[in-house]
Structure 1
Amino acid sequence: MRGLSIPNKIIFFVNSILLLLLILSYLSPYINPNIIWFFSFLGLIFPFLYVLNIFFLIYWLLCFKRQIWANIIILLIGLNHLNNYIGVQPKDSENLDTIKIMSYNVRLFNEYNWIKNVNCDTILSFLEKENNDILCIQEFYTKNEIPSIGFKYSHVGKQKKKEQWHMAIYSNFPQINKSTVSIDGKEMNNTCIYSDVVINNDTIRVYNIHLASNWFDNDDYSFIKNPKKERIKTGLLNITKKLKKSAQIRAREAIIIREHINRSPHPVIICGDFNDTPLSFTYSKIKNELIDSFTFSGFGIGNSYVNIPFLRIDYILHENSFKSYNYKKINKIYSDHYAISTEIKI
C-alpha cells in the first residue's frame, strides 16, 4: 500500500475485502451448507461480487496502479463461472431430429391473481402454442380435471388433496413408469417426480424437480429492492435466517435426488426449479457430470427469476451423450419465473 493516498488506501481495503469474498464464493459448490452455510450465501451473490470487482479493476487501470493485478488474477480464476450466467454459444438444431423440452414454474397458474390480466387459461394457451414434446411444470395446480395441454400422456404428482398437486410431467411419448423420489422417507410429490419416457426405441428417465423455496414474502422483496435505514437490521436478519434454512434443506434434498439419479437404469434428463444458483452446492450435486443446456446452447443473460436480476435458478440438464440446441428463455411474465426450453438430440 506504499505510495497510495489515503482515499486510495480506503478503496484498496474495500477492494481487498470484496476480492476475498469473491474467492470464497468460488468454493460454494464444494461445501455443504449443513456444514458451513455462509458459502451458499456468497455463491448466491457471486454475480454482484464479480461485477463490483470489475469496477475496481477499471479504477486501478485508470490510476495506473499495480493493485490492478490482484483483480485481474482473481477475476480470471472465476471467469469460467460466468458461462453459467451469460450464454455465449448459441447452437441451432439445423433441422436435426430433436425433441423440444420445456420447464416452467407456473406459480399455481396465477391462482391468486399476483399478476394482473393473467389467468390459468392464459398460461395453458401459451403452453399449447409452444409445441413442446416434453413439459415439466412446477407449482402445478388445478381445481378441476387435469388439463391435457395437447399432450397424450401425463404424470401429475398427486398428494391427498388437489391443492397439493404441485408437479407434473407431460409428454407426447408413452410414460411406462411414473413415480416419486422419497425425501427423508416421505413421498414428496412437490419436490421430485420422474417418468420413464419411451422415445422411439430409447427409454429416457425424465426428472421434474422443485427444491425448497427461500420463503421470501412481499416485505422481503420490498426490502431487497429498497432497503430502508430503519429496517436494515431486522430486514437482513430475517432474510439471512430464511436463506440459511432453505439452503440447508435444499442440500439434503439434492443429495437424496443425486443418489436416486445414480441408480437410474436409463439416461436422464432433468428439469426443474432448484431455487439455487449455478454456483451452489445444490446445483453442483445434482448436475454432477451432466450437461447444462444453457451453457451448451444458450445466449445472453440466463436469469430465470422475474423479480431479481441475474438470478438463474431454473435448469434443463441432460446426459453427455445427448446434444442440446436452441436454448431459450421465454420473456413472457405469466409467473414469477420465466419458462425455459431447449431442443435435445437423443
Structure 2
Amino acid sequence: MRRSFAFTCTLLIIGWLLVAIACVQVPAYTFWPATFGALTLPVALVLNLLAVGYWLLRNWRVATLPLLVAILTWPHFQRGLALHPLRVAPASTAPGQRVRVLSANVRIFNVYPQLRDAELNSSRQMIQWLADNPADILCLQEFYNEPRTSTSKEKNIFNSVERIGEQAGRQSFVSRTLTNRVGAEFGIAIFSRYPILRRGTVSFGKLSQNHAMWVDLRLPSADTIRVFNFHLQSMSLDERDIVDSYSSKAGFKRKGLGLMRRFKRGAVARSWQVDTLVRRFERSPYPLLLCADLNDLPYSYSYDQLADRFQNAWASVGNGFGHTYHGQVPLLRIDNQFAGPEWLVDDIWVHYEIPYSDHFPSTVTYRLPPK
C-alpha cells in the first residue's frame, strides 16, 4: 500500500514536471497563467530527484523511471543550479581568438538622492572600476552620463562616457532613452577595445524605455562579430513588498495579489520583447554575443527562448546559482550572457566583490576557434 502511494506520487511529480516545462515554452502574451506554472519548475525538478533517491533505496527497477526523467530534464536543472565541479578552464595557449565581455546593470551610477552615499563614493568607485577593467567589451544597462555640455555641477564625476570610453582606450556607443533638463543622458551603452564597424538599436515601442542595441566589431583575428546589449521590461516589484508577502499570511493577503498582477504585466511585455529580439538575432550574419538584464528567472519564457538557441555562459561553465541580484531576495540570476554556437565559453566570474549597484557584474571569457 505504501509503495503504491509512493509510486502514484512519483507519477504525479513527473506529470507536474512535464507540465511546468511546457509552461516555460508558452509566451505570456498568449496565455499568461503559464508564467506562474513555469515558476514551479525548480520545485518539480528537486522533487523528481528526491523520488530517484527514494526508489533507489526501495526498488531500483522503479527508480529507472524518475532517473530517466532526471537525465532528460537535466539541462533545465542546470539553468538554475549549474554543476561543473570537475571542469578545468582551457589553457591560455588553446587556439582561437579570446574575447572578454563584462555585463553590468550600473543603476545609473547611484545618481538619484536616495541611492547616493557620502561624497558620492560609490558612484566614483563604480565608474573607476569600469574604466580600469581589463575586459575587451563592456555592456552596461541603466547607464548614465553627464557630458561636458551638461549644466550639472557634478559632471566631472558622472562624465562616464569619457572616462570609461576615450580615456580607457575604448570606442563607445550610447543608446539614449532620455536626456534631462541639464543635459544628462540615460540609456544603455557598449564600450569596445575593438573597432566598431556598424551599430543600431531595437525599439520595444514608444511606451517603453526598455530596448536593445547592437554593434558589429572587428576582432584582431579579422573576424567580425555582433554584440547585443538589452534590458527587458522590469518586474516592477518592490523588494520590501516581496519580503512582506512571504513573511506572513497577512502579508501575502495584503501584498501578494498586487505583486502577482505586476509580475503578470511584466511577463507579458518581456515575452513579446524577447520574440522581437529573437527575430533580429536570426538575421545576424556574424557570430553573436548577448548581454542582458532579462529581469526574468532561468525558468521563464524569455530565458527559454534564448537558452534554446544560444549557450548560457553560467549554465555552460559555472558552479552554483550564479545569482546576480544584490538585494534581500536571495539567489536570483536575472542578468545573463549568451553566446552563439560558434563560440566556446572558457570561464565566467560574477563580481560579488563589487557591491555598488543592486546587480553584480559578470565577466565571461569566450573563444572563437579558427575557421
TM-score normalized with structure 1 length: 0.84
Say whether the 8 Å CA contact 2:108–2:186 is kept in structure 1. Answer: no
**Structure 1 Cα separation of the partners of residues 324 and 11 of structure 2:** 31
Distance 1:17 1:223, change over 3 A: farther
**Equivalent-residue separation in structure 2 for 1:82 and 1:160 (angstroms):** 39
SS in 1 for 2:295: coil
Output the CA distance in 1 between the equivalents of 2:210 and 2:263. Answer: 20
Asked if structure 2 preserves the Cα contact closer than 8 Å seen for 1:90 and 1:326, the reply is no
User: Do 2:237 and 2:263's aligned partners in 1 also have CA atoms closer than 8 Å?
Assistant: no
Deviation of the 1:169 alpha carbon: 0.3
Match status 1:108 vs 2:130: no
Uncovered stretches (5+) of structure 2, i.e. residues with no partner: 147-154
Q: Per-residue displacement from partner, 1:158-200 (whole Å, max 9, x unpaired)?
A: 134156622010111121222211224x496642011111212
Identify the residue that residue 154 of structure 1 maps to in structure 2. 172
**Cα deviation digits, residues 117-147 of structure 1 (max 9, x gap):** 7621121222234311000001112343343
Give 3-state SS (helix, strand or coil) of 2:143's partner: coil
Cα separation, 2, equivalents of 1:22 and 1:122 = 45
2:216 is aligned to 196
The answer (yes or no) to whether the contact 2:289–2:340 under 8 Å persists in 1 is yes
Q: Deviation string for 1:68-125 (max 9, x for gaps)?
A: 7775454444222122231414533524541210111112223345486762112122
SS in 1 for 2:303: helix
- 1:176 is matched with 197
The corresponding residue for 1:78 is: 73
In structure 1, the residue matched to 2:92 is 94
Residue in structure 2 matched with residue 135 of structure 1 by the alignment: 138
Matched residue type, 2:352? N
Distance 1:70 1:310 in 2: 30
| Residue 284 (structure 1) aligned to one of 288, 292, 304 | 304
Per mean C-alpha deviation after superposition, the further-off stretch among 171-180 and 277-286 is 277-286
Q: Distance in 2 between matches of 1:264 and 1:207?
A: 11
Judged with a 3 Å threshold, the aligned counterparts in structure 2 of structure 1 residues 111 and 47 are, in CA distance, closer, same or farther, namely farther
Matched, 1:259 2:257: no
The alpha carbon displacement at 1:24 in A equals: 1.9
Give the Å deviation of 1:278: 2.8
Q: 1:239 aligns with which of 235, 240, 259?
A: 259
AA aligned opposite 1:323: L
Q: Does 1:126 align with 2:135?
A: no
| Contiguous gaps of at least 5 residues in structure 1 | none
Residues 237 and 65 from structure 1, CA distance in 2 versus in 1: closer, same or farther, beyond 3 angstroms? Answer: farther
Please state if 1:34 is matched with 2:55: no
1:276 match: secondary structure: coil
Give the CA deviation at 1:65: 11
Cα distance in 2 for residues equivalent to 1:242 and 1:103: 26
Stretch moving more, 254-263 or 109-118: 109-118
CA RMSD, Structure 1 to Structure 2 (Å): 3.1
Q: Which amino acid aligns with 1:111?
A: V
Alignment counterpart, residue 363 of structure 2, candidates 332, 341, 346: 341
Structure number with the bigger relative contact order (C-alpha 8 A, sep ≥ 6) is: 1
Q: 2:340 aligned with 1:319, yes or no?
A: yes
Structure 2 partner of 1:167: 188
CA deviation digits over 1:283-311, x for unaligned, max 9?
Answer: 23234422222233323332222333332
Aligned length: 339
Cα deviations by residue, 1:13-67 (Å, 9 ceiling, x for unpaired): 8877665443322123421111222222233343344335545665676777998
CA distance in 2, matches of 1:64, 1:335: 51
CA distance in 1, matches of 2:136, 2:35: 35
CA separation of 1:279 and 1:231: change in aligned 2, threshold 3 A: closer
Q: Distance in 2 between matches of 1:264 and 1:27?
A: 28
Amino acid at match of 1:327: I
Given candidates 229, 240, 259, the residue that maps to 2:249 is: 229
